[in-house]
Structure 1
Amino acid sequence: MAVVILVVFPDIQDSDTNWWDWFKAKESYPAPLTYAKAVQRAGPAVVNIYSEEIQNNLTYLRAPRRVTRLGSGVIMDADGYMLTNYHVVQNAAQIKVDLQNGQEFPAVVIGFDVHTDLAVLKIDATNLPVIPQIADQESFAGDVVLAIGNPLNLGQTITQGIISATGRTGLSSTNHLQFLQMDAAINEGNSGGALVDTNGVLVGINSRQFKGVNPQLDIQGIFFAVPYQMAYKVMRQIIENGKVTRGWLGVGGNSESISRDPKGFVITEITPEGPADLAGLRINDIVTQIADQPFTTIVNALDLVAETRPGTVLNFKVYRNNKLIDIPVTIQEKRED
């Protein structure tokens, strides 16, 4: 074959071409790992938010000063509803929203929820890009996630990490609210932005960085986000009612107050004149079921109660003095401190 080629193409002998390379198999490489499609799907729905607060100057005869806060937001609806963190727009006199296509809009606060640090904004626009969403979306430790926002006003930026843990509590004044913990970096300006999976689907609203009690402790890679399911419920309630209404039971417990036989959680505290007290629940009662649903932890039970409309009667199955009894409890609206 080589002789034939030399006869047909005699110039090859005088050229610098290494004709033997023609017979070598060409090297192939796998396609590079990329999250570009996820960013292309979700990025246009993540906005920059600038809020301006007018603070009174404590110095005599000094004019009030204007303080600008930087944050991000997520377009949840094509007609202009978006989610962000409440601390981004708290006490704001003016709010400006910048879309990724360069458009600017003034925004108004429809409502907010202090416990989840979420706020719903509205701009006067239609046909907006909407973040991809899945109604029954669920996240697991180990999932790869991307945080999209505007850190330090550098422009839209993507950071990547994994979900480190789910169900983190103790991050708000209502301990039963559960958050996502991840190591995708969240800096000033990222707050209120989108946490998405590798398909660009929204999994949470970026919220905060972990702050240790000891300022000398160098803490890295611990950030939190409000899970999508929780954020969506908060948004719908704010849009429909102007506020978030949560059910309240008025009991207390801890992770150690678990009964193995029978399975349930032990009530260790009861708020005087609260729903549990008025219904006749007592300290040391073991709650095994609420509305025919078994429970072993008080956190899960309080989640059910929080999502129950105030005024609803829930039947509690309780072990007391080695007897199983039914106690109907009328859920009340959660008291604001």
Structure 2
Amino acid sequence: MTRIIHFAVQFVIIGLAVAFLLVWLRPELLPAGRQQAASPATSYADAVNRTARSVVSVYTRTMVTEPLGPEFSDPLFNRLYRDRTVTRPRRGLGSGVIISSDGLVLTTQHVISDVDDILVALWDGRVADASVVGSDPATDLALLRVNLDDLPVASLAEDDDLRTGDVVLAIGNAFGLSHTVTMGIVSATSRGHLSLASTEDFIQTDAAINAGNSGGALINPDGEVVGINSASMGQETGAQGISFAIPASVVRRVTEQIIEYGRVTRGWMGAELTDVSLRLATAETLQPGARVSQVHRDSPAWKAGLQRGDVLISAGGQQVRSARELMQRIAGTEPGSELELEVLRGNQVFTTSVELIQQPPPQG
């Protein structure tokens, strides 16, 4: 019996010694160690350093002509100069992201729209004139070129796998303060119906996006660009922490087409759609659809016989889940393609086909 107790004590002592040695060599094996290893990052400096060098400041100048008379408070001077004009420069600012080492810079379309001159300021202090390669008002994206080589290039995220609650950082030329970094989370994805662009699929974030941030990078903790900062709701509307960015997948698709074609090819059938739910005789539950609210004259939808009030049930053999989803699907289809539609009009269901054309530029 004594021998057994002696053996057990030796076994326990050896076990404790082995455990002590393992913990000394691998402290993360302890629960407290694991909790410490899994704790949130306390700094995102590595992510910022990876991307900041590829973010540029964009400065624009537009010469505008204004009447000279209203500048004078004296009625006599107003009468003397009322027919005279003065030309002054109007300056603007924004941000951009370098996407190729030979000088391609991505920014937002509203930053460079209708301007006379564009200057790009780099991380290292160099300044270069920029020319517009192409733009896409439907997504508020534009591509610039500067005559510089061996530039640092941002890494675009491969997938739109952002989730609500993920940490993101915005880098840009906020109020002319170059490479300002703000932090927030993803508040929502696939935001639409914002009247910011005709083709909307925005990331919503509470990271501060101020004047001058438009066109800058929205990055994840790995330093990958997950979006291009586009707009924010101002405090004058009562909003706080509501900003929007264009997802990397949209950025990649639009950029590739601008480089290849000089513009973005986008299908269009010429009908405005709204969401609707309906119950068909063949279905037990409510089914989503897209109601036609307007048909543009002489458009493919007009020629296919679609009328206001028609409800689109399926398109191309796929059920319509929402008006926005269908319009995005149409926009992503090559112009010239034929799309078969299943339509509900009154109590009758019929099929028709539309031949999509290139989406015309936004009006106004």
TM-score with structure 1 setting the length: 0.83
Q: Is the 8 A contact 1:249 1:275 kept in 2?
A: yes
Are the structure 2 counterparts of residues 34 and 56 from structure 1 closer, same or farther at C-alpha, using a change threshold of 3 Å?
A: same
Larger deviation, residues 197-206 vs 283-292: 283-292
Percent of pairs with identical residues: 37
User: What is the alpha-carbon distance in structure 2 between the residues aligned to residue 310 and residue 173 of structure 1?
Assistant: 24
Q: Is the 8 A contact 2:206 2:243 kept in 1?
A: yes
Larger deviation, residues 226-235 vs 35-44: 226-235
Which residue is equivalent to 1:242? 262
Q: Is the 8 A contact 2:67 2:86 kept in 1?
A: no
Match of 1:191 among 200, 214, 217: 214
Q: Which amino acid aligns with 2:269?
A: L
For each residue in 1:151-195, what CA deviation from the matched residue of structure 2 results, as whole angstroms up to 9, or x when unmatched?
122221110001111222233475552211111001111111000
Are the structure 2 counterparts of residues 266 and 67 from structure 1 closer, same or farther at C-alpha, using a change threshold of 3 Å?
A: closer
User: What is the alpha-carbon distance in structure 2 between the residues aligned to residue 319 and residue 268 of structure 1?
Assistant: 11
User: What is the alpha-carbon distance in structure 2 between the residues aligned to residue 228 and residue 144 of structure 1?
Assistant: 16
Q: Which amino acid aligns with 2:336?
A: G
SS of the residue corresponding to residue 41 of structure 1 reads: helix
User: What is the alpha-carbon distance in structure 2 between the residues aligned to residue 189 and residue 266 of structure 1?
Assistant: 38
Match of 2:271 among 248, 251, 275: 251
For each residue in 1:244-271, what CA deviation from the matched residue of structure 2 results, as whole angstroms up to 9, or x when unmatched?
332212223323x123545341423233
Q: Which amino acid aligns with 1:227?
A: P
Give structure 2 stretches of 5+ with no counterpart.
1-32, 69-80
TM-score with structure 2 setting the length: 0.77
Q: Is the 8 A contact 1:264 1:286 kept in 2?
A: no
Q: Is the 8 A contact 1:205 1:226 kept in 2?
A: yes
Q: Which amino acid aligns with 1:305?
A: I
SS of the residue corresponding to residue 255 of structure 2 reads: helix
Match of 1:311 among 330, 336, 353: 336
Are the structure 2 counterparts of residues 135 and 326 from structure 1 closer, same or farther at C-alpha, using a change threshold of 3 Å?
A: farther
Alignment of 1:1-337 (within 5 A): 33-59=42-68, 60=81, 61=84, 63-172=86-195, 175-211=198-234, 215=236, 217-255=237-275, 257-261=276-280, 263-269=287-293, 270-320=295-345, 325-336=350-361, 337=363
Q: Is the 8 A contact 1:176 1:300 kept in 2?
A: no
Are the structure 2 counterparts of residues 158 and 316 from structure 1 closer, same or farther at C-alpha, using a change threshold of 3 Å?
A: same
Compute the displacement of 1:44 (Å).
1.0
SS of the residue corresponding to residue 67 of structure 2 reads: coil
Compute the displacement of 1:294 (Å).
2.3
Q: Which has the higher helix share?
A: 2
Give structure 1 stretches of 5+ with no counterpart.
1-27
User: What is the alpha-carbon distance in structure 1 between the residues aligned to residue 163 and residue 155 of structure 2?
Assistant: 19
User: What is the alpha-carbon distance in structure 2 between the residues aligned to residue 68 and residue 330 of structure 1?
Assistant: 44
